[in-house]
Amino acid sequence: MGKLDNKCAIITGGASGIGLATSQLLAEEGAAVVIADIDAEPGKRAEQKINAAGGRAVFVQCDVSRAEDCRRAVQTAVEKFGRLDILVNNAGIIRRADVLDTTEEEWDRVMEVNVKSVFLMSKYAIPEMVKQGGGSIVNIASGWGLKGGRKAVSYCASKGAVVNMTRAMAIDHGPQNIRVNCICPGDTDTPMLRHEARQLGQAEDKFMAEAAQRPLNRYGQPGEIAQAVLFLVSDAASYITAAVLAVDGGGTA
């Protein structure tokens, strides 16, 4: 028996990086998963891989900044699997720039993908969770939602918002038996992290070596963040809500 048998989960940004690792792990633990991602080819590959391994998955192409796309992702979960128990708000982007070098369009897009998406996905998911007596939401923020970072002002602002949205949502929806928690990863070996090196004009090997400079002396792997998600959405965390969990190798210390 898996930890998530008979449950259904939506994972935004579920086709790569932390989202892909989470989609695969939750499926391995018995959940039916809806992979919501803007990129169609990786999303279809993730769906096929999970189904080929004996899991249950469906891909939905989704721009998480658009209300209709978010509503459709939730509707797909209910139509395909009959319920919705888990929402992992993982989709995110980063623009490495300070205030002076960030355009208004870049600021807006970071806020749309990183913050507005949490609002929209939760807005449509929570009523379905209420119908069945509860659920679990995990918002993926960042260590830079807890402290500042160099040349990442829009990202830091967005992830700080996700941290406090988590607390507010936990207060509002705890009486409906919906737990809302937040994970703050440190630097994790994903395509997005490596893309930061290019944004900053740094050599990738040097950038990744700097990312490893934390008490555990390494950067994280997507599967390690996925394990924290699994814990928070499982019954092992049944009395945990409004928590903000740093999974960062000690980086925020």
Rg of the chain taking only CA atoms, in angstroms:
17
Our CA angle for 111, 95, 252, nearest 5°, is 90
Bridge partners of 220, per DSSP, are 188
Strand ranges for the chain from DSSP E: 8-12, 32-37, 56-61, 86-89, 135-140, 178-185, 244-247
Q: Which of 124, 155, 219, 239 is catalytic?
A: 155
Per the annotation, the verdict on 219 as an active-site residue is no
Strand ranges for 186-250 from DSSP E: 244-247
| CB-based contact 131:20 (threshold 8 Å) | no
| CB-based contact 142:163 (threshold 8 Å) | no
103 burial level (CB within 10 Å; 0-12, 13-18, 19+): exposed
Active site residues: 155
